[in-house]
Structures are given as structure tokens and as C-alpha cells.
Amino acid sequence: MIELRKLVLDVLKPHEPGIPDLAKRLAELNGVDGVNISIYEMDKEVETVKVTIEGRFPDTDEIKQIISEVGGTIHSIDEVVAGRRVVEEEETLHERQSQSEG
């Protein structure tokens, strides 16, 4: 069975539970080696966080369930790595040209 190795999510969640508690809950899942959560936008009632999960897990069902249980919503799945090894994202020629023009 092919496993997911890395998942990067854009999540909207209430302030409580805080990100340490959410990170611990996600890290407890079978196959998860590590979790990183960063807040990049906050308002009065909610915060937008980037959730990065690494390990070897079969699908996203339990991850989605935990985020839902804490009142969160996944806005987007921004990166996925699957297979026997982690493949790092490479910069394309188009991206390099765009940066040099800016």
C-alpha cells in the first residue's frame, strides 16, 4: 500500500484548543512522526493555521476527523508527498523567471 509521507493543510480553527493541544492530538495518530503548526492569520474569533504532518499514514481520514472535532475546517490541501521517499518540491523555470522579473 502506498503511504502518505507529508501533508500541508490550510486550516481555519477557533482559538481554543490552542495549537499545542491540536499538535499533540495529531501527533498521537498512528503513523505520524511529527507535526508543525504555524499561525499566519488571527482575528477576534478564529485563526488560520498551516498544519504540516510528516510520517507514514494511509490516508487523511483521522486527520480530518480531529480537525473537525476541534471546530476546524480544512480550507485547502497545499502539499502532499506520497511514496517510498519524500520528494522535495523543485523550483520551475517559470518561477525563476518570475522572480528575476520582479
- Residue 96 pLDDT level (bands cut at 50, 70, 90): confident
C-alpha cell of 101?
522579473
The pLDDT score that the predictor gives to residue 99 is 77
pLDDT for position 92: 79
Answer whether residue 102 shows pLDDT above 70. Answer: no
The whole-angstrom distance between residue 47's C-alpha and the CA centroid of its chain comes to 14
User: Which CATH fold topology does 4-101 show?
Assistant: Alpha-Beta Plaits (3.30.70)
List pLDDT tens digits, range 30-84: 999 999 999 999 999 999 999 999 999 989 999 999 999 999 999 999 999 999 8
Residue 13 has pLDDT above 80, yes or no: yes
pTM here is 0.86
Long-range contacts of residues 73-76, Cβ cutoff 8 Å, at least 24 apart: 73/11, 73/12, 73/13, 74/9, 74/10, 74/11, 75/9, 75/10, 75/11, 75/12, 75/48, 76/9, 76/10
Instruction: Tell me: pLDDT of 101 over 90.
Output: no
Please compute the mean of the pLDDT values over residues 21-27 and round it to a whole number. 98
